[in-house]
Structure 1
Amino acid sequence: MKKTVYILLTTICSAFGTPLLAQMSADTTASKSSASLTFSGYVEAYYTHDFTAPKTNQERPGFLYNHKRNREINVNLAFIKAAYTSERIRGNLAIQAGTYAQYNYAAEQPLLRNVFEANAGVKLSKTRDLWLDAGIFTSHIGFESAISKDCWTLTRSLLAENSPYYLSGAKLTYLTPNGKWTLLGSVVNGWQRIAKLPGYTGPAISTQVQYKPNASVLLNWSTFIGSDRPDSLKQSRFFNNFYAILNPNGKISTILGFDIGADRKPIVSGDRRAGSGSYVWYSPVAIVRYSISDAVKLAGRVEYYDDKNGVIIATGTANGFKTWGYSVNFDYFILPNAVFQIEGKVYSSQDAIFESASGLSKTNTSLTTSLAISF
């Protein structure tokens, strides 16, 4: 249920008897009539069964942040959101709970761990769709978000789990009049950080260029330039996120994604010069979805994540994190705002990195189900 409050202010122009006051009244009425305050919410309950992990292991592998708890019914994400919009002003405030917030916001200050979104924006032009927003907002990097109902697969891809879900700072967003291009530039506090990392003075910069030539094609390129290390290490980061969404509303739809990032090597011990070269990680992913009907959808995903130097996912093994992922997903929309999802997934790594009852394993198998509603 969405409750929308419309504010209407009118004056009786004849009581004043001047055309000027009548014009002011008309302008005020037109401006206020477009303002709205909307309340909405989302709740996703889930159960994950990790067939590989020991029975005593209550958590999924460390590189995952959604659907984290193992062999127990829990809430991945629940939030209540208030959104205010008018012709030139907008704002959002969403308060969250669930295991997604517990694990993904663990590095933030305690009072901020329950903030899913908190931002304010103003339209800078009367004739152009140019907005300045500041605060805490969902990340523009990647094609997946923390809201499973809006994703093609129940669980997130490896590249999504290990790139920013949220950012904090200020951003300029411009949508061209024909609606085909979206251009975004932002100054943020860091790589998925509300408060800056101690020892890092920043700030960081993030951009987005999105092109939608028609309803069947969407192309995106997002970047992050900054660091997630203290200044003393002089480890700058340059990250690129590319994806294409093809035929999203058709019978057969496809997402092709590719992330690649590089951290400059740290300074040599006892030498103030920065280390030469960079540590590089990358991740390709392909998702194909088949819509049997508006209510029933099937999806399959193949992905790979290569982080041999442990920049994002540290394993302490000879080959680092080099892992394939395969998953099959079934979605049933019970109602337009209620969906049941089930997904089977297998990870296969070059090194033995997954905990099992008999030690470490090169593979990990899991089954996840969820029931999500929005209102």
Structure 2
Amino acid sequence: MMQRHILTIICSAASIIAQAQQDTSKPKIPFEGIDMTWHNGNDRRDSSVFKGVYFIPSILLDVNYNYSFNNPIDNTVVGSTAMARHNEVQLSALHLGGDFTYLNAHARVMTQFGTRSTVVPRNDLSIYRGQYHLDDVYRYLSEAYAGYHIDKWYGINIDAGLFMSYIGLNSYYQPENWEYQASFTSDNTPWFFNGIRIQIFPSKHIKFEPWIINGWQSYGKFNSMPGFGFNFTWIPNDYMKLLTNNYYGTDAGGIPGRKRFHSDNSWLLRYYNRPNSSGISKMAFSLTGDLGFETGAGVKAFGGDANTPSQNFLSAMFYNRTWFAKNKFAWTIGGGVMTNPGRYLVLYPTGQASPLPNPSNPTQTEGAFPFSANPGDPFNGWDASTNLDYLPNQSITFRLEFVTRHASVPYFAGRGGVTSPDGYTTTPLPPNWRPDLVKSENRLILAMLFRL
């Protein structure tokens, strides 16, 4: 009897040791088991339909129809990175690619086709420094990087290449966002970085990610110094997320003495969750606040005057989302405000109001009738939107959205458009013609967003 007990104890101990060895050999995955499908700016799928050892593909498609009540004759959208054309069905984005892994090496490649391959790179003026047409080289890539994974804590990734930016909360990929037209806070902050990042996961709930990058949404460098920044994300549970993104660099072309600082901070909270309810099944909000400024070389952050004007960026946005009918429908309402004296982050209007860099003075722009972006030029804006989503499954979203946007200066395309008297680029411009910019616009957006 005693021998049988001893044998049982030995077998039990061996089983416990084997289980412990198995647990320690299992890779630790950051944020594993935490529900992030409700996050604004995050993949809403709980898993991919594709399975693979070395490669998992990814496909994203964004098609939209939008109508501005200003009804510009040239069908051009001004001041948006989400849309390019008015009153037309447009393929905004087609992304093809996926994730490669072999042992601890990994890579991610995503292509970029559609209007966004023109709309977004146009805002990078670093491409005019030097040769080789960097806008064409990178235009059809949204992500392309490779790296190595170190099995320390919950993982360390060292990656280099072209990355998506986290600043502004919204994702570059529209199927991940609660709203289609991003508020000023997100639409005027970077969508991409080119450089090196290190992702450090000291625990299951924390990510710390330092960056060394070419600059603020720039394929190249504006000056000789690179940009520096970091992301810190804390997701303690299924219903809350806190993150901060911070950046420092020199991003005024030809003016290395002008420094830029930017801090972007977000809080997401899911405050109601009844996933099986046929009524309200989930409710959550996201709150984002940004503080940024430029200083040096003739400008200062705050308290400027006529001789040394202020250059800063203050903004906030808030969205509340309610899901219905077991998460098959969702309603979002929200908006934001922004002030940006100096207009150093304002998206320049398109067409004849679109600027090109002035070689003799990099702080100014030139073109037929350029939108002024001189130090201290005021710009204040606010926006609000509401939409209704139909979500038949986790791979497709049908969205109807209304958005109203307003600026303190003429900025959006009016009835006369921003191209020519009849809206065609081939039409000569009469001496008295000017782009028709107005201070507000109301817009309806119908979008189909697909992800697999």
Q: Is TM-score (shorter-chain normalized) higher than 0.5?
A: yes
Q: 1:214 to 1:109 in 2, by over 3 A?
A: same
Secondary structure in 2 matching 1:109: helix
Amino acid in the other structure paired with 1:305: M
Shift of 1:205: 0.5
| Residue matched to 2:74 | 57
Matched, 1:167 2:183: no
| Residue matched to 2:118 | 102
| Residue matched to 1:332 | 390
Shift of 1:296: 0.3
Partners in 2 of 1:127 and 1:352 — Cα distance? Answer: 52
| Residue matched to 2:445 | 368
1:183-241 Cα deviation digits (max 9, x unpaired): 010100111112223xx112110101111122111111101110211353511100010
Partners in 2 of 1:321 and 1:101 — Cα distance? Answer: 27
Q: 1:53 to 1:316 in 2, by over 3 A?
A: farther
Matched, 1:230 2:253: yes
Partners in 1 of 2:251 and 2:108 — Cα distance? Answer: 27
Q: 1:351 to 1:105 in 2, by over 3 A?
A: closer
Trace 1:217-366 onto structure 2 (pairs within 5 A). Answer: 217-247=240-270, 250=273, 251-267=282-298, 278-293=310-325, 294-313=327-346, 320-357=378-415, 360-366=437-443
Shift of 1:265: 4.3
CA contact (8 A) 2:318 2:336 kept: yes
Unpaired stretches in structure 2, ≥5 consecutive residues = 1-46, 123-132, 274-281, 300-306, 347-371, 417-435
Shift of 1:125: 3.6
Which residue, out of 182, 194, 198, partners 1:156?
Answer: 182
Partners in 2 of 1:37 and 1:231 — Cα distance? Answer: 43
Secondary structure in 1 matching 2:75: coil
| Residue matched to 2:65 | 47
Unpaired stretches in structure 1, ≥5 consecutive residues = 7-34, 269-274
1:87-125 Cα deviation digits (max 9, x unpaired): 522101111101111110138431210011110010134
Amino acid in the other structure paired with 2:294: D
CA contact (8 A) 2:250 2:256 kept: no
Matched, 1:191 2:220: no
Amino acid in the other structure paired with 1:88: N
1:341-375 Cα deviation digits (max 9, x unpaired): 11101112233433323855332100111112122
% identical equivalent positions: 19
Amino acid in the other structure paired with 1:301: G
- Bigger fraction of residues in strand: 1
Partners in 1 of 2:439 and 2:140 — Cα distance? Answer: 35
Amino acid in the other structure paired with 2:293: A
Aligned length: 336
CA contact (8 A) 2:320 2:333 kept: yes
Q: 1:350 to 1:183 in 2, by over 3 A?
A: same
| Residue matched to 1:68 | 84
Which has more radius of gyration? 2
Secondary structure in 2 matching 1:160: helix
Partners in 2 of 1:92 and 1:248 — Cα distance? Answer: 34
Q: Which moved more, 1:317-326 or 1:234-243?
A: 317-326
Q: 1:220 to 1:75 in 2, by over 3 A?
A: same
Q: What's the TM-score, normalizing by structure 1? A: 0.83
CA contact (8 A) 1:3 1:39 kept: no
Partners in 2 of 1:138 and 1:317 — Cα distance? Answer: 29
Amino acid in the other structure paired with 1:181: I
CA contact (8 A) 1:265 1:277 kept: no
Name segments (4+ residues, structure 1) moved above 4 Å. 1-6, 275-278, 314-319
Shift of 1:282: 1.2
1:292-345 Cα deviation digits (max 9, x unpaired): 131100000120011132221256899722111010111111332111111101
- CA-atom RMSD, angstroms? 2.5
1:220-277 Cα deviation digits (max 9, x unpaired): 1101110211353511100010010111883211000011110114349xxxxxx967
Shift of 1:142: 2.8
Amino acid in the other structure paired with 1:363: S
CA contact (8 A) 1:4 1:37 kept: no
CA contact (8 A) 1:5 1:36 kept: no
Partners in 2 of 1:253 and 1:134 — Cα distance? Answer: 34
CA contact (8 A) 2:412 2:441 kept: yes
1:115-147 Cα deviation digits (max 9, x unpaired): 111100101345541110110111122321121
Q: 1:357 to 1:370 in 2, by over 3 A?
A: same
CA contact (8 A) 1:3 1:38 kept: no
Amino acid in the other structure paired with 2:319: I
Partners in 1 of 2:310 and 2:408 — Cα distance? Answer: 22
